[in-house]
Amino acid sequence: MQENFAKRIAIYPGSFDPITNGHVDIIKRASRIFNEIIILIAHNPDKVYLFTIEERMEMIREIFRDTEGLKVDCYSGLLVDYLKMSGANIILRGMRALSDFEYEFQMALMNRRQTKNIETVFLMSGFKWFYTSSKLIKEVASLGGSVKSLVPDNVNQKLIEKYDVNNTRG
Ligand code: PNS
């Protein structure tokens, strides 16, 4: 158990539908703490996704193309099973406003209930991204608003393509 923590491999699970600058900020800051981070596209049964798993993985891979110590993976089962399989025991999550707290607290406790020697480590969201969420970004983009400063360039482009079938917007 001690050894696993010493490896400092963190699993960063989420829907990433799509990845935002808030997520990117968490990953960059976490990469100074952990030796390896696996960005895991996991299944949230409460969500209907805009992007396919492949599209989400491709966008993330493009963003972190030149970054060492990062992997991108996907998994449709229980998060704790993925941790067991990968030999990691740290879950990384970002925490934004107070509204995130209860949801995150419940998940962290539920995960630890299933597997004792795992820890969820939270990084506070960067101030700039406090109110950034994939959900709101999609809503604004779907209605023709600009989300350029909230997502990486490749994601912005993909959102424009998704929501503008006739390519009438720039
Ligand atoms: O970005 P999200 O949608 O808030 O991420 C939630 C996610 C995907 C991390 C969560 O739904 C999850 O862990 N899904 C995998 C299945 C699982 O283990 N569910 C029990 C969570 S306590």
Question: In the 3-class helix/strand/coil scheme, how is 76-97 assigned residue by residue?
Answer: CCCHHHHHHHHCCCEEEEEECC
| Ligand 1: lining residues by beta carbon, under 6 Å | 13-15, 42-44, 47, 78-79, 107, 110-111
What digits encode the pLDDT tens for the residues 60-82?
A: 999 999 999 999 999 999 999 99
Could you list the residue range(s) of the whole structural domain that residue 83 is in? 2-129
Give me the CATH number covering residue 115: 3.40.50.620
Q: How far away, in angstroms, is 121 Cα from ligand 1 center? A: 15
120 close to 111: Cβ distance less than 8 angstroms: yes
pLDDT above 60 (res 167): no
If one counts the domains in the chain, the total is 1
Q: How far away, in angstroms, is 163 Cα from ligand 1 center? A: 26
By annotation, the residues acting in catalysis are 23, 47, 96, 134
Q: What residue has token string 């409460």?
A: 46
pTM of the model: 0.95
Residue 137 lies in a domain: no
64 close to 156: Cβ distance less than 8 angstroms: no
* Element (DSSP H or E) covering residue 102: helix 101-114
Distance CA 167, CA 151 (A): 19
